[in-house]
Amino acid sequence: MIAVFSKENFKQCCDHVAGKDKDLAIILRQYGYPPLWSRSTSFATLIHIILEQQVSLASAKAALNKLKEKIGTLTPKKLMALSDAELKSCYFSRQKIVYARHLAESILSKELNLKKLSGYPEEIIRQKLKVIKGIGDWTVDVYLLMALHRNDVFPVGDLALVNSVKQVKLLHPHVSKPEILNLAENWRPYRSIAAMLLWHAYLSKRKN
């Protein structure tokens, strides 16, 4: 059975993982429950995550909004109808134009079926998405966690998450990703929930 979290069990999952780790329990006490960050399982969500690669969330959101202003509902067919110049005017880099087009083409040719993806195990989803140019583990992790609500995903490629782990666990600034993943093993089978608590701490500290 595929394990997912939902609005109904989210707080219970937070309590469970905080019960296994005193540092996560402190986050919960100090900042309360994190928001249940959620996105649709759509083409638009994957385009949004591609836009978020290596830029600020605000920049990615501005590009997505600009694109939606231009074409309305974001579909593969509408995206493919735009010229490179039109996509550049929506703040797409040359590289991200290639990625977005390849994703759109894969859906239009029926090589990728987003509706069917949600029923597959994580390894198959990862395999199917990583065939697309520009989609790597971080993009898949964010999609698995925020769109498909899989319980046990830890996006170690996410800078904010890694920085939060370092702060919360008082780790050496140059600690390696494999070491962080090893530490995250303690949070199985709720690594997604641990990630949300850690993002919540990171964002809450930045507000103060």
**pLDDT per position as a tens digit, 10-28:** 999 999 999 999 999 999 9
Place 29 in a pLDDT band, splitting at 50, 70 and 90: very high
Q: Report the percentage of the chain scoring pLDDT > 90.
A: 95
Average the pLDDT over 70-98 and give the result.
Answer: 97
Contact 50, 87 (CB under 8 A): no
State whether residue 4 is helix, strand or coil. strand
Q: Where are the alpha helices (DSSP H) in 55-143?
A: 57-71, 76-80, 84-88, 94-108, 114-117, 122-130, 137-142
| Per-residue pLDDT at 142 exceeds 70 | yes
How far is residue 190's CA from residue 4's CA, in Å, rounded to a whole number? 9
Average the pLDDT over 171-183 and give the result.
Answer: 95
Name the region of 155 (left: φ>0; alpha: ψ -120 to 50; beta: rest): beta
| Per-residue pLDDT at 155 exceeds 70 | yes
Average the pLDDT over 78-97 and give the result.
Answer: 97
Mean residue pLDDT across the chain: 95
Q: What integer pLDDT is reported at residue 7 of this predicted model?
A: 94
| Per-residue pLDDT at 208 exceeds 70 | no
How far is residue 101's CA from residue 136's CA, in Å, rounded to a whole number? 16
Q: Report the percentage of the chain scoring pLDDT > 70.
A: 100
Domains of the chain: 10-37+153-207 (1.10.1670.40), 43-147 (1.10.340.30)
How far is residue 136's CA from residue 12's CA, in Å, rounded to a whole number? 31
How far is residue 144's CA from residue 47's CA, in Å, rounded to a whole number? 14
Place 206 in a pLDDT band, splitting at 50, 70 and 90: confident
